[in-house]
A and B are shown apart, each in its own frame.
Chain A
Amino acid sequence: DTAVSQTPKYLVTQMGNDKSIKCEQNLGHDTMYWYKQDSKKFLKIMFSYNNKELIINETVPNRFSPKSPDKAHLNLHINSLELGDSAVYFCASSQGTDRGRNTIYFGEGSWLTVV
């Protein structure tokens, strides 16, 4: 069973479109994240949720809207896609946020290409 699963794995779409990436974790973790990885492999946090509550919004444009319907799911919706949004988006989770529970488990990534 995949611990953190996200869909779709590959997404090619035109500028201006709206798209969603879904994420589910079956680890029973309290905390979930979205990270963005650019073409140089640089990894930056976008959002962090703890028990369905948003705790980090790292100066991400309003076009990006996360939604956590329950602790096990954290979806990412992107409006009006731009060329610069092309990247790999990783969903991830951890048991919690304190020492000893903060190991992060990553999904396999969603490769988004905006043309």
Chain B
Amino acid sequence: GNSVTQMEGPVTLSEEAFLTINCTYTATGYPSLFWYVQYPGEGLQLLLKATKADDKGSNKGFEATYRKETTSFHLEKGSVQVSDSAVYFCALPLSTGGFKTIFGAGTRLFVKA
């Protein structure tokens, strides 16, 4: 069936470290892929997205490339800041059987000064 799997957290990094959060998916066809971010006490908000294979989404220094051959959409950032501490969700919109977006389990990131 359709699913999204992302690496378990928490991930703890020092400021300016390199970040990777892995996300793989299972789906029929070639869906769009999203990363959402949830800051403490807030709702989720779109971080970036890619709508087709080999597309790269980017925002706020974060990047993710839609890799059809490995069914992956890993999130990366070259130099994290304390303000990046949040929970990150990989998401897969499905158009079969109605419409819904399924979310990965979330990866909590802590960045230390």
CB closest chain-A residue, reference B34: A103
Q: How does the 8 Å CB contact mask read for B93-105 relative to A, with 1 for contact and 0 for none?
A: 1010011111101
Contact of B44 among A90, A99, A102 (CB under 8 A): A90
Chain A residues near B34 (CB-CB < 8 A) = 103
Chain A residues near B31 (CB-CB < 8 A) = 99
* Interface status of B46 (Cβ within 8 A of chain A): yes
Which interface class (under 10, 10 to 19, 20 to 34, 35 or more) fits B? 20 to 34
Q: How does the 8 Å CB contact mask read for A34-55 relative to B, with 1 for contact and 0 for none?
A: 0000001111010010100001
* Interface status of A114 (Cβ within 8 A of chain B): no
Number of interface residues of A (CB under 8 A): 27
CA distance A41 to B32 in the complex (A): 23
B99 touches A41 (CB 8 A): no
Interface residues, chain A, with chain B CB atoms under 8 Å away: 4, 31, 33, 40-43, 45, 48, 50, 55-56, 58, 90, 92, 97-100, 102-109
Known: A31-B99, A105-B45. 16 other contacts (CB 8 A): A41-B38, A41-B87, A41-B105, A41-B108, A48-B98, A50-B99, A55-B98, A55-B99, A58-B100, A90-B44, A99-B51, A102-B99, A103-B34, A104-B46, A106-B45, A109-B42
